[in-house]
Amino acid sequence: MDFGLLIKGFETVLQPSGLLFILLGVTGGILIGSLPGLTATMGVALLVPFTFGLPVHHGLGMLLGIFCGAIYGGSISAILIRTPGTPAAAATVLDGYPLSQQGQAGRALTISLFSSFIGGITGVLIMIFLSPQISRFALKFSSPEYFALAVFGLSIIISVSGRSVIKGLMAGFFGLLVSTIGFDPISGYPRFTFGSVNLLEGPAFIPTLIGLFALSEVLKGVEVIYTQEKIKNDITRYFPNMSDIKKCFQTIIKSGILGTFIGSIPGAGSDIAAFVAYSEAKRTAKNPEAFGRGEIKGVAAAESANNACTGGAMIPMLSLGVPGDAVTAVLLGALVIQGLRPGPLLFKDHIDVVYSVFAGMMMANIMMLLVGMMGIRLFVRIISINRNTLLPIIFLLSLVGAYSMRNSLFDVWLAIGFGVIGYFMQKYDFPVSPILLSLILGPMAEANLRRALIVSQGDPMILVSRPISALLLIAAVVSIITSARRQMKLEKQVLDLAQVTSSR
């Protein structure tokens, strides 16, 4: 860590032209992130060609701005219209949307922005000071550890099951089965594709998400449009109030550190980081039953972790030349196009670029906070539009979002299909969140379980004989037992209440 070089990096980034490119990137990123169907990866990939002619510092600043902005932007539509703009915001829906339903959209949006900012800064600081050490630790992750990490994330299925554990488990198994559609990750054998080429890579994640969350919600909205009272979502502030900051600060920092670390593990992206941090926040909370019903800490944990992941994902990319996630893979390509080769040699030959990346990411997060604060009033105005005008617009945006992922009409049908499934699930009190969790973590769990068992020649002890994996599995078991006990208590309370009501 060389402070002189860091100051030089800031000097480059803080030039008016440098700031302008970061501002453009952040604003574009927030817009892309908030549009369902457009991911941070897509945003960065779309703008890479525009950066060819720019000086390397400016081009990188703009791309980093898109990266940070898009990850935050995903939370806006997740909170306001129950549609995660990016997969990274999938966990934000769980508490963000209920808050919005309670007339607290402004509160959710401000804490989401603040957590994204603090998480992002945490990620950058860890990236600056601990890159080499974290890279070395992250490289110790192999199949058993990845599998254990996925199981730990999946262990919250029971606690997001709502009123019935059995229904939650059914939804979880259904989601995991859906995640097995397509090529088998090890042998390449096509499973449950019914001969359709469109299903060879499995059901596309974003259209499935749009169907389960957005379309099902819009169908429900159409059903109850005249019976449901309109929720008033006024916003009086651009920044979270002190009591929310005090309540969430510890969670934000903890999730930021967790998110950075998960981001630094190659292959584990910000969606996984957000769910693992959410799971951890819920596990350690005094009132875990409030999660999923509009708990502000749930939004804070998910948003802090997914933005911290941006810094984390840069760590192996810069120091080892191994991208931490899909976006950094595209960024790696952008660096290569500029004639730079990420990895140990980058630190030796182009250390100035490394430090301008550090400074650029820091500035991108600060810019994200400013642009986000200016936009909050505008975002909230979206849900104050009359519902007989807003619902058709959300319908259209959802369908276009599903289509735009692969320019495929099949994906639109997929979204509609999952929309109907989600609608009936909601109607009959089946939780949808376990499906979401399974779709994100299922493929990671399956591929790594089988890889680990192949390595050990079928001996399952490999999963518990390695310290990191054993620790994660123990944490998962503890989480399952405690949440199962809590859920059963809750179910009993609901049953008792129903009996008392019926006896009256």
Please give the residues from 247 up to 306 whose contact with other proteins meets the rule CB under 8 A: none
Judged by CB under 8 A, the residue of 396, 477, 478, 488 near other proteins is 396
Letter for the amino acid at 391? Answer: L
Judged by CB under 8 A, the residue of 388, 481, 485, 496 near other proteins is 388
Strand (E) or helix (H) holding 182? strand 182-183
Judged by CB under 8 A, the residue of 192, 201, 237, 349 near other proteins is 192
Q: Is 497 in the site for other proteins (CB under 8 A)?
A: no
191 strand-pairing partners: 182
CB-wise, 351 or 400, nearer to other proteins?
400
CB-wise, 31 or 257, nearer to other proteins?
31
At residue 81's C-alpha, the angle toward residues 76 and 86, to 5°, is 50
Torsion of CA 303, 296, 118, 314, to 10 degrees: -20
Q: Is 330 in the site for other proteins (CB under 8 A)?
A: no
Judged by CB under 8 A, the residue of 184, 201, 234, 496 near other proteins is 184
CB-wise, 52 or 192, nearer to other proteins?
192
Q: Is 503 in the site for other proteins (CB under 8 A)?
A: no
Q: Is 407 in the site for other proteins (CB under 8 A)?
A: yes
CA dist 42 and 83 (Å) reads: 17
Angle between helices 3-13 and 16-34 (to 10 degrees): 80
Please give the residues from 37 up to 96 whose contact with other proteins meets the rule CB under 8 A: 38, 42, 46
Q: Is 225 in the site for other proteins (CB under 8 A)?
A: yes
Q: Is 502 in the site for other proteins (CB under 8 A)?
A: yes
DSSP 460: G
DSSP 3-state assignment of 166?
Answer: helix
DSSP string, 376-424: HHHHHHHHTS-HHHHHHHHHHHHHHHHHHTTT-HHHHHHHHHHHHHHHH
Q: Is 429 in the site for other proteins (CB under 8 A)?
A: yes
Judged by CB under 8 A, the residue of 389, 461, 500, 504 near other proteins is 389
The b/e string for 354-369 (b: 16+ C-beta within 10 A; e otherwise) is: bbbbbbbbbbbbbbbb
Judged by CB under 8 A, the residue of 1, 7, 14, 166 near other proteins is 166
Angle between helices 16-34 and 351-383 (to 10 degrees): 50
CB-wise, 103 or 392, nearer to other proteins?
392
CA dist 380 and 393 (Å) reads: 16
By CB under 8 A, name the binding residues for other proteins.
Answer: 32, 35, 38, 42, 46, 163-164, 166-167, 169-170, 173-174, 176-177, 180, 184, 186-187, 189, 191-192, 218-220, 222-227, 386-389, 391-393, 395-397, 399-400, 403-404, 407, 409, 412-413, 416, 420, 423, 427-430, 446, 449-450, 453-454, 457-458, 494-495, 498, 502
